[in-house]
Structure 1
Amino acid sequence: MRATASAPADPAPTDDARVLRALAVLEALAQAGQPYTLSQLSARLHIPKATLLRMIESLETRGYVMHMPDSRGHDRAITLGPRAAQFALSALSNNTFTRACRSVLRALVDVLGETCNLTALDNDAVLYIERVETTEPLRLEMRPGMRVPLHCTASGKLFLSQMTALERNAMLTRLTLKKMTYRTLTEPQLLAAELDRLGTRGVGIDNEEFVRGMVAVAVPVRASADGHALAALAVHAPTARATLDDLLKAVPQMREAASRLAPLLHLHLNDA
C-alpha cells in the first residue's frame, strides 16, 4: 500500500529563529491596532498554528501578550500584554526621543499654559508616555508610566471612539465602568452615544469625569493623515483656570503639535 504524504512538519527553529519569530509576533500585534485570532496571525506571519500557539503561550506567561474575547465573547483573540507596553515605554525613553518629544510638548505648554501629555492605548487602559507640566502651582500630578482608565479620560475616550463598533463593544464589555466622579458615564449606552459623537469630531474630552475639578481634551497622533492613532496628545487644566470650551478652542494648535509628534513616534516605534 502506498503511504500517503503528510504535511511537512515545521523544522525545529534555531535559537535565533525563535527570537526573530517572537519579535515578529510582537511587531505584528503592535502594528495591527486590533487583536488577532491565532488563525489570522498564523496566516500573516506564515507560521504553523501549532508552533505559533506554543510561542503565544510562552509570551503570555511572561506578560508580553494576552488573550481577550471578540465581540461574540468566545473567540480568544490575541493582543499585546502590559509587559510589552512597558518595554515600548522603556525604548521610547531614550534621550533622543525624549528631547524631541518634550520639545514639541513644551512648545505647546508655552502656548496653552497648561500641562500636555503624550499617551498610548495599553490594552484596557491609557498609558502615559511623556508629559510636560504647566508652571502653574495648581495642577494634577501624574508621571510617565502611569495607567489611567479608558472610559473617563480624554485620551481613553478618544481611543475608544476610534475603534470599530465590534472592537468597541468587546472592549466595553470587558471594562469596569467605575464611577470616578459625579460626571463619569457608567451607563454603556450613554457612553457609546458619547463615543459616537466624539468619533465624528475626532477628539476626546473629559468633563470632570476622571478627577473632579479637572477638564481635558485629546487629539490623535496618527501614523498618516487617514491612518490609525499611534497615540494621543492631551491637555488638561483645572476648572479654576479653564473650561472645557476653552480647551476645545485649542484643538487646532494641538493637531498641529500632533502632526509634529507623529513622525518622531513612528520612527522610534520602528526602531524599538
Structure 2
Amino acid sequence: MTTPRLDTRSIEGDTPAQRLLALLEVIAEKDQYFTLQTLVDETGLPKPTLHRMLQQLENSGMLQREADNRHYSKGARLRRLAENLLLNDTVQGARHAVLADLVREVGESCNITALSGSEVLYLDRVETSAPLRFYLHPGSRVPAHCSASGKLFLAQMGATQRRRLLAEMPLEKFTRNTITDIEALEDEIAQVKEQGFAFDNEEFLPGLLCIAVLAPSSAGISNTGLAIQAPVMRMDRERALACLPVLERAAAAIARINQGALPEPSPQQDAEVGG
C-alpha cells in the first residue's frame, strides 16, 4: 500500500527570517501535532534545513516539542502572539464596522485601500449580498493607473514624483477603457485632484465601475482610500455620484479611527516640535 503524496507548500522568502515566517504560516493552519518528516513531505524542503528552522522556532518559544520528543505543537509564545493580535486589533475591527455599514447603505461591495509602490493594496473588503458581484479579496493588488483609489493617491504626489513613478510603471491595458498614455493620465489626475474623487470606469475589469475618495488625514497626505465597486448593470456614474455623500461620511469616520489610533506624542517629542 502506497502512502498518498501530499501537495507541497512553497516556503518562499529572500531572507531566512522571511522563510521562517512562511513556515509559521504553514504550521498555523495545522490542527494536529506534526513531525519533522510531515513538514518535509509537505514543503519539499531538505530535512537538515527544516530541522534547523524548527530548532530556531522551538528555541524562540514559537514551537514546543511534545512528550514523545518527535511531535511538535504551537508554543506558548506563538499562541500569545495570536491572542494579543485578536485582543488589540480594535482599529481594524472599527474600520471594518464602518465598511460593513457602508455596504448596507449603498448595497454594493466596498473596500479600504492603500498605496504600495505602484499598486493599490486592498486592506479590507466587504462584499454585497447581491448575486452578481466581483470578488477581490483583502490582499489583492491593482495597478494604480487603472484604479479609482490609485488615481487619488497619484493626485497627491508632486508632479516630479508622479512623473518618475509613471515613467517606470508598465501602463498595461486591461480593458478598452484603460488609460495607457501618460499625458491622458495626467489630464485625468488633474481632474481628480480638482474634484476630490475618482472613477474607475471599467478600466481594470470589464463591467466593473468604481468610485473612490480618500480618508482625510491631519498630515495632509492620506494613504487610506475608500471605494464602492459595482457591476455597470447596477451602477452608472450618475448613481455612483449619488452615493458620494455617504462615501465621504464613511471616509471621515475612517479618518477619525485612524487618528485615534495614533500614539500620543511624548513630552520630549513635543519639545522637539516646539523647537
Report the TM-score when normalising by structure 1.
0.62
Structure number with greater CO (CA < 8 Å, separation at least 6) is: 1
SS of residue matched to 1:159: helix
Which of 117, 141, 145 is matched with 1:147 structurally?
A: 141
Which of 153, 174, 182 is matched with 1:180 structurally?
A: 174
CA distance in 2, matches of 1:119, 1:270: 22
CA distance in 2, matches of 1:220, 1:183: 23
CA distance in 1, matches of 2:146, 2:88: 30
Q: Which has the larger radius of gyration?
A: 2
CA distance in 2, matches of 1:265, 1:95: 13
1:247 is the counterpart of 2:240? yes
Q: Deviations over 1:134-175 (max 9, x none)?
A: 111111101111211100011111111121111211111111
1:229 is the counterpart of 2:222? yes
**Contact 2:153/2:223, CA 8 A, preserved across alignment:** no
CA distance in 1, matches of 2:229, 2:255: 20
Which residue of the partner structure matches residue 138 of structure 1? 132
SS of residue matched to 1:229: coil
Q: Deviations over 1:202-244 (max 9, x none)?
A: 11210000100000011011213x8211310000100111112
Which residue of the partner structure matches residue 156 of structure 1? 150
Compute the displacement of 1:270 (Å).
Answer: 5.1
SS of residue matched to 2:172: coil
Q: 1:220/1:92 Cα in 2 relative to 1: closer, same or farther (>3 Å)? A: farther
CA distance in 2, matches of 1:97, 1:229: 17
Q: 1:154/1:94 Cα in 2 relative to 1: closer, same or farther (>3 Å)? A: farther
Aligned residue identity for 2:95:
C
Which of 118, 122, 126 is matched with 2:120 structurally?
A: 126
Q: 1:245/1:133 Cα in 2 relative to 1: closer, same or farther (>3 Å)? A: same
Compute the displacement of 1:245 (Å).
Answer: 2.2
Which residue of the partner structure matches residue 98 of structure 1? 92
Q: 1:119/1:94 Cα in 2 relative to 1: closer, same or farther (>3 Å)? A: farther
Which residue of the partner structure matches residue 202 of structure 1? 196
**Contact 1:92/1:269, CA 8 A, preserved across alignment:** no
Report the TM-score when normalising by structure 2.
0.62
**Contact 2:178/2:203, CA 8 A, preserved across alignment:** yes
SS of residue matched to 1:222: coil
**Contact 2:152/2:193, CA 8 A, preserved across alignment:** yes
Segments of structure 1 that go 5 or more residues without pairing to the other structure are 1-90
The runs of 4+ residues in structure 1 deviating greater than 2 Å are 91-95, 265-271
CA distance in 1, matches of 2:207, 2:217: 33
Aligned residue identity for 1:201:
Q
CA distance in 1, matches of 2:149, 2:257: 19
Q: Deviations over 1:100-140 (max 9, x none)?
A: 11110111111110011000011110011111111111111
Which of 253, 256, 268 is matched with 2:249 structurally?
A: 256
Q: C-alpha root-mean-square deviation of aligned residues, in Å?
A: 2.0
Identical pairs, percent? 41
Aligned residue identity for 1:182:
R
Which residue of the partner structure matches residue 9 of structure 1? none
SS of residue matched to 1:223: coil
Number of aligned positions between the proteins = 180
Q: 1:238/1:269 Cα in 2 relative to 1: closer, same or farther (>3 Å)? A: farther
